[in-house]
Amino acid sequence: MFKACAAAPTAHGACPLDAVFGLFKLAPNNDVLDFKVSNTVPRVVNQNYGWILKLNQMTGKVRVLERMTLPETPKTWGAGGQPYGTLADRKTISLDVTLTVYNGTISKSWDVANGDPSGHYLISAYIEDSAPVQFEFDVVDPR
């Protein structure tokens, strides 16, 4: 059993059953055209990356608190118009979003921005009351 679901305090809340991280290819309307599992993200402007979670519910909406920590402060923090806040170290951003469940899955993507540092990143996603799902990955300069 996926550990995030095991830690959920109630049987009625949404919780993740499985998780993958990787590279997205998105259409202009943000529909997912392709997804490739990877824990390495090329540091190329507009490269999309993120996660897909399989949940214990097929439809509806779930609240997600997402926290991303970078190896160093980026030149800018873009938040796509969503509410966000950065911690005092300026290396960590938090987003509080509501995602729609499609066929038992939710996903969240980011894109590499000009000035994003290379190095080791960490994303923690808290799905309602479940334990966080953590994704560690490296942003690397293309060869």
Buried b (16+ CB within 10 A) or exposed e, 57-77: eeeeebebebbbbbeeebeeb
User: Tens digit of pLDDT for each residue in 105-130?
Assistant: 999 999 998 889 999 999 999 998 78
For residue 54, give both structure tokens: 């399989």
- Going 104 to 17 to 32 to 72, the CA torsion angle's sign is positive
Q: Which of 27-41, 70-84, 115-129 has the lowest mean pLDDT?
A: 70-84
More confident residue, 8 or 94: 94
Q: Note the pTM of the prediction, 2 decimals.
A: 0.85
| Whether residue 47 has pLDDT greater than 80 | yes
Domain annotation for the chain: domains and CATH numbers: 3-140 (2.60.40.1930)
Q: Which of 30, 45, 25, 36 is nearest to 99 (CA)?
A: 30
Segment 75-85 shows an average pLDDT of 57
Rounded distance, CA 15 to CA 53, Å? Answer: 9
